[in-house]
């Protein structure tokens, strides 16, 4: 699929796709039966058999985009990012972002969530902080595990939490660095 504003109206037909396959088939395309997005915001339609979707962002001109699935999870595309998105989504909004709207640090939604026994934790650093602290707390606020306590380079990072040995229930993930704190609720179901 392509995102560009450099295609003339006369050449847009070259990016047209045939009709969608019958129910049960797999297909990903922009709304309007095309593989071209020529605006700052486009809807991606997904036909899938609930397999995990692997989406790769390959940005050539330094633009910043984000993907928003139909559960309102937001995935920021910086440089060459790869995301795993739930296979149950039906639509994904692709929209251009401006630098002023991006946080220096962003914690993306953990996937899967609920989970058993592992989940992926993704976050983005737009600059190199002094230290990253990534902790898991139980429902009572007690520290369960420290996943990270180190200096990391800027960019996209992925950490897996294996909760084998933990009880089913609600946990809290806390990302903390240089005055920035973000917390996400996780649910372990066994």
Q: Which residues contact 72 (CB under 8 A, 6 or more apart)?
A: none
Mean pLDDT, the chain, rounded, equals: 83
Instruction: Evaluate whether 2-100 and 105-188 have a shared fold.
Output: yes
Judged against a pLDDT cut of 70, whether residue 101 lies above it is answered with no
Residue 181 contacts residue 175 (beta carbons within 8 Å): yes
- Residues of the chain with pLDDT > 90, as a percent, come to 23
Position with higher pLDDT, 142 vs 70: 142
Q: In the beta sheet, which residues pair with residue 107? A: 123
Strand 155-162 versus strand 143-150 pairing type: unpaired
Strand 91-97 versus strand 132-138 pairing type: unpaired
Note the pLDDT of residue 39: 81
Residue 184 contacts residue 144 (beta carbons within 8 Å): no
In this structure, is the dihedral angle defined by the CA atoms of residues 68, 69, 74 and 80, taken in order, positive or negative?
negative
pLDDT-based confidence at residue 104 (cuts at 50, 70, 90): low
Judged against a pLDDT cut of 90, whether residue 109 lies above it is answered with no
Residue 18 contacts residue 35 (beta carbons within 8 Å): no
Task: Indicate the fold that domain 2-100 takes in CATH.
Answer: Immunoglobulin-like (2.60.40)
Percent helix / strand / coil, the chain, rounded to 5: 5, 55, 40
Note the pLDDT of residue 131: 87
How many whole angstroms separate alpha carbon 173 and alpha carbon 163? 12
CATH for the stretch 105-188: 2.60.40.1930
**Model confidence pLDDT, tens digit, residues 27-56:** 888 888 888 888 888 888 888 877 788 888
Note the pLDDT of residue 79: 63
Place of tokens 């953990």: 110
Position with higher pLDDT, 7 vs 168: 168
Note the pLDDT of residue 86: 77
What ranges do the domains of the chain cover?
2-100, 105-188
């Amino acid at each position: 699929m392509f995102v560009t504003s450099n295609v003339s109206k006369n050449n847009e037909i070259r990016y047209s796709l045939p009709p969608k396959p019958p129910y049960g088939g797999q297909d990903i395309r922009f709304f309007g039966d095309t593989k071209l997005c020529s605006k700052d915001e486009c809807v991606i339609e997904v036909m899938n058999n609930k397999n995990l979707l692997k989406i790769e962002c390959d940005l050539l001109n330094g633009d910043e985009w984000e993907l928003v699935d139909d559960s309102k999870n937001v995935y920021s595309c910086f440089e060459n990012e790869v995301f795993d998105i739930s296979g149950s989504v039906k639509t994904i909004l692709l929209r251009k972002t401006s630098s002023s709207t991006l946080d220096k640090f962003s914690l993306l939604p953990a996937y899967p969530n609920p989970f058993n026994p592992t989940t992926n934790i993704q976050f983005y650093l737009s600059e190199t902080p002094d230290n990253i602290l990534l902790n898991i707390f139980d429902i009572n606020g007690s520290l369960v595990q420290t996943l990270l306590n180190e200096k990391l380079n800027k960019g996209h990072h992925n950490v897996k939490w294996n909760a084998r040995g933990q009880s089913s229930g609600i946990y809290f993930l806390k990302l903390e660095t240089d005055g920035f704190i973000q917390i996400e609720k996780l649910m372990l179901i066994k």
